[in-house]
Structure 1
Amino acid sequence: MSQKKLTTPFTNENISLSNRVVMAPMNRRRAVNGLPLPSMTTYYQQRAGAGLLISDNIAVSSNGGAYMNTPGIYHDEQKLAWKKIVEEVHQKGGKIFAQLVQAGRVGHPAIQNNEPLIAPSAIAVNETIRIPDNSYQNMTIPIAITTEEIPVWVNVFKQAAINAIEAGFDGVEIHAAHGFLIDQFINPFSNTRTDEYGGSIENRTRFLFEVIQEVIATVGKNKIGIRLSPFRKIYDLKSYPEELATHEYILDELQKLDILYIHFSNAISDGQPSIPISFLRNARERFKNIIMIAGGFTVKTAEEILRTGLIDLVAFGKLYISNPDLTERIKNDFPLADWDEETFYHGGDKGYIDYPSVSFSKCTDY
């Protein structure tokens, strides 16, 4: 049995993790009216062997979740439900961060408390989305946030971070990826503003940094991570001439703010990653704290990228759905169970908390 870097501890002056395996944030959509269901406690407890768990997308407001049955953390009942989940993870020796999201123009009022979508500009996503009657409807045109309203939405993130820490989370991850609200400000295809939040790189990233600065002032820089998806084509967001320069600027400013980690979301298309290795080298030179990456990794490729020294932690999504004891399987070279895509985003306990530990019945290659 060979020693794997994935299963070695990671420790710095700000955090100590039992291994370098992270459970990626996934929206498994097992909440009702934003309230986590009791089965979510079992789900996270089963996976507490990860060095770090990152929660489902957690909406910061009643119109913040992109999809049906997204959990929230914008009122006390939700906070109490998350507190129970976090306590169970801690009792198992795990650490867990809350991923905070405002989906912006991604979604539909029928999902989001019958409230309008919001965005930096009144530009709809040209896609459909499933709503509670199980039909698929076009995403609606969002309402552009006025300059005067920007502080309101910054404060929404701040309050959600306060709620998360009060619920016992070890920290928070600000979701600035995947075409959601913060990413919509960053990308000029979704941000055509002419005020101080649009146009230049500094202006398009202003909302991001105002959120980060407020959350730092609230919970401290050592409890903050951020998720980014550079070069990701999603929800009508395309490549643009200043994309590399924009992300280099973001990296440099995050280094100045000295937050705990950056979490890159990678995507594989036609066998190619959305984030090239050259960008990861660039990121490692610019940002000196923790860098993690998720997206399409096998145990073998995760081990390989860790050994380059460019990445400190690797997050797994699908493998953690079907292998609640993933770290033990990796450590002991046990086979990996396959997953059921039909139950990823809906349903009850089936395909959610019924995957057994260490099963050899149905396996997939590394």
Structure 2
Amino acid sequence: MEIPMNPIFTSVRVGRYMLPNRLVMAPMTRSRAAFDGTPGELATEYYVQRARIGLIVTEGTQPSDDGQGYITTPGIYTPAHIAGWRKITSAVHDKGGHIFIQLMHAGRMSHPENTPHHRQGVAPSAIAPGAGMFTTTGMQDIPTPRALTAEEVRRTVADFRHAARSAIEAGADGIEIHGANAYLVQQFFAPSANTRTDEYGGSIENRARFAIEVATAIAEEIGADRTAIRLSPGTTMWGIDEGVEGPVLYRYLVAELDKLGLAYVHIMHQGNEPLLADVRKLWHHSLILNRPGRPRDQIGADVASGLADLEAYGQMVLANPDFVVRLKADAALNEPDRNTYFGGAAQGYIDYPVLSARTDIRS
């Protein structure tokens, strides 16, 4: 009897692109860029190795000097950044792949030693996250950020717009706004990080305003069908607490973003199944679902059930450049080396083994 093909391997339209499968490489910080934010020399090989996946979403990439949080993360706002990313996108396209650059403004998750201008981090409000960060001189407490003025918030929106245009100039197929994982966009959502009393704080509509303005500006600049956003409803890391109104905020936010016709929303799922079901109903475009720790035998389950259009994987893709091939062959997966996740050179970056014609295939 013929075994039906897992729907994860079927093609799907996302924005203006037809993707060959429904697997997505989730964004993963690797901290291997040059100190000026230009992607590192090995980054092209890293992404090209994974070009068979339906969509690559790059590591978080800062849209400005203020946007950098961690040491040696890439940027996409200077000519050098654009030139560096163009090498990567061109090579990925030569292999038939698609690549979105994730725009990540770290907000208060930053340390002056890690940024080009060595200035205090910025955030919705002057509230420290109560966390440490690795810097050029080792682990340090993250200092209290400076609260952005309303005019500076608007300038930050403009920074995102400029970075999105720069990403397209660098050959990216589109951009993903990082609205998750306790960084700037999500800091505006959370009352624990946002105590503003102006148009960007207080009510649900006001706390969602920054995200909507960023998405609107980028969609105007590069096209809604090349613009996407990642969200992680319910995240509690690094002092983020969205409160009892959190789910209500996300229902409002998703409904408003839906009107823009973005390419996709990418959900980093934290376990609220009723909210996820509501997001699916409210969102009328492509939905990517990332379930941390999803077991291998559940790959494709959310696509098969209709809950998601695509599924994103991080560590599995990090450790398996030939992830798609291994899944189709029912082959064993490499285990990731956590000691090489951040920083370093080739080890744990571009040297994970790939299948040969006769090895690692399960009987």
TM-score by length of 1: 0.94
Structure 1 contact 7–330 (Cα < 8 Å) conserved: no
**Aligned equivalents of 1:146 and 1:233: distance in 2?**
25
Whether 1:347 and 2:351 are equivalent positions in the alignment is no
**Aligned equivalents of 1:131 and 1:362: distance in 2?**
41
Structure 2 contact 15–263 (Cα < 8 Å) conserved: no
Structure 1 contact 335–360 (Cα < 8 Å) conserved: no
Runs of 4+ displaced beyond 4 Å: 359-363
Question: 329, 333, 336: which is aligned to 1:332?
Answer: 329
**Aligned equivalents of 1:53 and 1:150: distance in 2?**
29
Structure 1 contact 263–291 (Cα < 8 Å) conserved: yes
Amino acid at match of 1:116: Q
Amino acid at match of 2:120: P
Amino acid at match of 1:278: P
**Aligned equivalents of 2:169 and 2:324: distance in 1?**
29
Match of residue 270 from structure 1: none
Superposed counterparts of 1:103-182, under 5 Å: 103-113=106-116, 114-133=118-137, 135-182=138-185
**Aligned equivalents of 1:38 and 1:322: distance in 2?**
19
Question: 246, 250, 270: which is aligned to 2:249?
Answer: 246
Match of residue 309 from structure 1: 306
Match of residue 26 from structure 1: 28
Match of residue 264 from structure 2: 261
CA distance 1:280–1:361, shift in 2 (3 Å): farther
Superposed counterparts of 1:1-366, under 5 Å: 3-11=5-13, 14-33=16-35, 34-113=37-116, 114-133=118-137, 135-266=138-269, 274-294=270-290, 295-358=292-355
**3-state SS, counterpart of residue 335 of structure 1:** coil
Structure 2 contact 14–264 (Cα < 8 Å) conserved: no
Question: Is 63-72 or 317-326 further displaced after alignment?
Answer: 63-72
Deviations 1:161-212 (A, max 9, x none): 0000011100000011111111111111100001111000011111111111
**3-state SS, counterpart of residue 105 of structure 1:** coil
Deviation at 1:110, TM superposition (A): 0.5
**3-state SS, counterpart of residue 60 of structure 1:** coil
Structure 2 contact 189–242 (Cα < 8 Å) conserved: no
Question: Is 145-154 or 88-97 further displaced after alignment?
Answer: 145-154
Instruction: Give ranges in structure 1 of 5+ residues lacking alignment.
Output: 267-273
Amino acid at match of 2:294: F
Amino acid at match of 2:303: L
**Aligned equivalents of 1:197 and 1:26: distance in 2?**
29
**Aligned equivalents of 1:328 and 1:41: distance in 2?**
20
CA distance 1:149–1:11, shift in 2 (3 Å): closer
TM-score by length of 2: 0.95
Amino acid at match of 2:243: Y
**3-state SS, counterpart of residue 235 of structure 2:** coil
Amino acid at match of 2:338: E
Question: Is 353-362 or 282-291 further displaced after alignment?
Answer: 353-362
Deviation at 1:15, TM superposition (A): 2.2
Deviation at 1:297, TM superposition (A): 2.2
Percent identical among aligned pairs is: 38
**Aligned equivalents of 2:4 and 2:213: distance in 1?**
46
Deviation at 1:276, TM superposition (A): 2.5
Deviation at 1:3, TM superposition (A): 1.7
Structure 1 contact 49–94 (Cα < 8 Å) conserved: yes
Number of paired residues? 357
**Aligned equivalents of 2:356 and 2:349: distance in 1?**
16
Structure 1 contact 60–100 (Cα < 8 Å) conserved: yes
